[in-house]
Structure 1
Amino acid sequence: MEPLELLPIPLLQWYRENARVLPWRSDPTPYHVWISEIMLQQTRVAAVLDYYRRFLAELPTVADLAAVEEDRLMKLWQGLGYYNRARNLQKAARQIMEDHGGVFPDTYEAIHALSGIGDYTAGAISSIAFGIPEPAVDGNVLRVVARITGDDGDIMKPDTKARMGAALKRVMPVDAPGDFNQALMELGATVCLPNGAPLCDQCPARDFCMARLTERTGELPVKAAKKARRVEERTVFLIFRDGSVALRRRKSRGLLAGLWEYPNELSPAPCPVEALSLEQGPSGKHIFTHIEWHMKAVLVQTAGDTLPEGWVWATLEELDRDYAVPNAFQAFKPAVEGRLKGEGEEPWQSCISGME
């Protein structure tokens, strides 16, 4: 038998004994599975848990998601990054309301047609929420399959993903497709690890895993190297006046589209307002998929009320409640909060924030 043909029984037994208890697994409605899967893209489970609970507490139904104002949606998503995920969620929710009478569609094809849902997410929702035997092939699953089968195809190539997905569909148990998909994801996340040595002694496939038997776990999966990121040096202006800080909204398209930010420009950059005083502020670094921002802040005190079009003054309360400022600017949060609380100067330190 081929290695994948041997996998379902031991994998499902392992999963039922070792699966983490997660809220979307405890109540796997289509809406819950969908929200969790979108949040989990490019994001660790531990980081998602609190966001998931807050999101569902405020937007418990598809109808609520379809109707929420975008600024509020962005505030709920603040810190998760990749904000187009949230916009696509709302687009899809509106599709469900308009095209499906507010009822989540129950076929793979109809789910796949929703905005922001690709092969993986459609397979996950179909199998977990509806018991439809469709594979859900993400990075964790590709790594597991490549190692078990000894496949040295580049997992970034569409034909490799398609081949592995087809192989999984052939062995997927029709009476437990959701558990099978979740077990593969769980195995990749907790045992068949991407960085460092996999925990082969804990793996249900250890006796027939080709990578383990041929001592190739460090070589598989094969994955083409990413292109080097472009580095941008940017000056961030933290502009204060009477207990408020200046924010501007980014353009409606492109990186961090439509979100609020502290005004910033490629360095060197002149101060955009008339300043009473200028001070050196903290520095920060943020890593996007294709770009790195290396940022240095300037603390600006101004007496003028007038701001350029599209800018606003925000108090600390308004900043916390109303404005979604992305994690790219996390390094400057202590400086802003300190000034808005009237705490004066702080010993600034560099900060590296995560991927978006």
Structure 2
Amino acid sequence: MTVDTRNAFATDLLAWFDRHGRHDLPWQHPRDAYRVWLSEVMLQQTQVTTVIPYFLRFVGTLPTLRDLAAADEDTVLALWSGLGYYRRARFLHRAAQICVEQHQGELPRDFDALAALPGIGRSTAGAILAQAHGLRFPILDGNVKRVLTRYHGIHGHPGQSAVEKVLWQHADAHTPDERVADYTQAIMDLGATLCVRSRPLCSGCPLAAGCVAHRDGLTAQLPSAKPSKAIPTRSTVMLVLRDANKRVLLERRGPQGVWSGLWSLPEATDHDGAWRAAQQLARIDDAQALAPFIHVFSHYRLQVEPLLFDDATAHRAIADNPSLRWCDTGEIAALGLPAPVRSLLQSLQGIMQ
């Protein structure tokens, strides 16, 4: 007798989900397309426990797709501030605007049209259609990749195109025809709670009996690690110019590079450059070196040396530059700032509450 492995896999997983899955995540109530989409984008590179307060704050301020489309970029980035990978927020914003312009203010239910929107790839489109509409589309996020890699004993880094192609084939084969929304949540839950990166809890896994990695003692080796590459370190000096009213001078970053479009602190490559830059921006008397820190990006480490210039007097030219503005505590809180810059300002008494 031939066993339908897709249904066996899905049946066991759904039975586990009914007893142990996560049924009270905020984007599940209601589980509409906008909330699913927002949660899927936030969950890229980010844990559920971190995402929940950001999600609640975001939908509390922008409860619908049309609200998101109508918001200004500073509002969107301020709500996103701290989640990192800010391009995700810009893609959300632009995709919402396109939906208003071209799709009657709704996320399209057609897969190709949905996947064509900025920031929505194959897996995110599948998750939206499966969870919000119950349509049969597979997903392949990081958790699902880990589950399928171990279950089928697939070697090679999951990010490699050949390996990913095989994983998509398995993802499609295992996706059932019914209860697709629950199945999609179930396989993500399994990867997030049991089939975790290190020390997976195989004793509680509903798929352990058929898992190659569990059978062969390969759970520590699979998924295969990404080929290592040395991470370079870059240095910058951040200028904290603060006037007599304790306002801080912020500069909007350009459209390219990290933190593009966010409000941040002016920067220089070294201390001499920092002094020259500060003198061009304001009249200054002295500088205080603040505690240096390191911020780690995916592809390099940034070593930051902050310099505080207190009681700075702005040059009049600043008022004519839309990329520069003096901000008090309330204004800073309402802007999109990189997380390490916000933390730096929060550490200075009188800057932020």
1:27 aligned residue: 30
Residues 29-48 of structure 1: matches in 2 within 5 Å?
Answer: 29-48=32-51
TM-score normalised over the length of structure 1: 0.90
Tell me which residue corresponds to 1:251: 254
Which residue matches 1:287?
296
Paired with 2:189 and 2:141, the residues of 1 have a C-alpha distance of 11
Task: Tell me the equivalent position of 2:192.
Answer: 189
Identify which of 211, 215, 218 aligns with 1:216.
Answer: 218
1:75, CA displacement in angstroms?
Answer: 1.1
Are the aligned partners of 1:281 and 1:335 in contact in 2 as well (CA < 8 Å)?
no
Task: Name the CA shift for 1:3/1:148 in 2 (closer, same or farther; >3 Å).
Answer: farther
The correspondence of residues 323-342 of structure 1 with structure 2, limited to 5 A, is: 323-336=335-348, 338-340=349-351
The secondary structure found in structure 1 opposite 2:112 is helix
**Structure 2 match to 1:158:** 161
| SS at 2:290 equivalent | strand
Kindly state the Cα deviation for residue 328 of structure 1 after the two structures are TM-superposed.
Answer: 2.8
Residue 240 of structure 1: how far off its partner (Å): 1.0
**Could you say if the C-alpha distance between residues 183 and 99 of structure 1 is closer, same or farther in structure 2, counting changes exceeding 3 Å?**
same
Distance (whole Å) between structure 1 residues aligned to residue 292 and residue 235 of structure 2 = 11
**Paired residue for 2:274, among 270, 276, 301?**
270
Quick one: distance in 1 between partners of 2:106 and 2:254? 33
Matched, 1:127 2:130: yes
Which residue in 1 is equivalent to 2:12?
Answer: 10
Q: Deviations over 1:112-169 (max 9, x none)?
A: 1111100110110011111111111011111110111111133111222222112221
Q: What does residue 229 of structure 2 align with?
A: 227
Amino acid at match of 1:215: G
Q: 1:186 to 1:206 in 2, by over 3 A?
A: same
Determine the C-alpha separation between the residues in 2 that align with 1:69 and 1:334. 24
Structure 2 equivalent of residue 346 of structure 1: none
Q: Is the CA contact (8 Å cut-off) linking 1:277 and 1:302 kept in structure 2? A: no
SS in 1 for 2:83: coil
2:325 is aligned to: 312
Q: In the aligned structure 2, how far is the partner of 1:157 from the partner of 1:295?
A: 33
In structure 1, distance between residues paired with 2:8 and 2:284: 70
Residue 129 and residue 340 in structure 1: after superposition, are their counterparts in 2 closer, same or farther (change >3 A)?
closer
1:127/1:133 contact within 8 Å kept: yes
Q: Which amino acid aligns with 2:314?
A: D
Q: Give the aligned length.
A: 339
- Is there any run of 5+ residues in structure 1 with no aligned partner, and where? 344-356
Give the secondary-structure state (helix, strand or coil) at the position aligned to 1:179: helix
Q: Tell me the distance in 1 between the aligned counterparts of 2:121 and 2:286.
A: 51
What is the identity percentage for the equivalent residue pairs of Structure 1 and Structure 2? 32
**Is the partner of 1:13 in helix, strand or coil?**
helix
For the 8 Å contact 1:232–1:266, the answer to whether it is kept is: no
Cα–Cα, structure 1 residues 311 and 158, in superposed 2: closer, same or farther, change >3 Å? same
Specify the code of the residue in structure 2 equivalent to 1:280: A
Instruction: Give the structure 2 partner of residue 143 of structure 1.
Output: 146
Q: Which residue of 2 aligns with 1:299?
A: 308
* C-alpha contact 1:3 1:148 (8 A) present in aligned 2: no
What secondary structure sits across from 1:146 in the alignment?
helix
Classify 1:340/1:254 alpha carbon distance in 2 versus 1 (closer, same or farther; 3 Å): closer
Specify the alignment match of 1:350 in structure 2: none
Matched residue SS, 1:117: coil
Name whichever of 119-128 and 298-307 sits farther off: 298-307
CA–CA distance in structure 2, aligned partners of residues 299 and 335 of structure 1: 12
Cα offsets for 1:91-129 (capped at 9, x unmatched): 111111111111321122221111110011011001111
Aligned residue among 25, 44, 68 for 1:65: 68
Q: Whole-Å Cα distance in 1 between the matches of residues 270 and 192 of structure 2?
A: 40
Distance 1:137 1:165 in 2: 7
Q: TM-score, normalised by structure 2?
A: 0.91
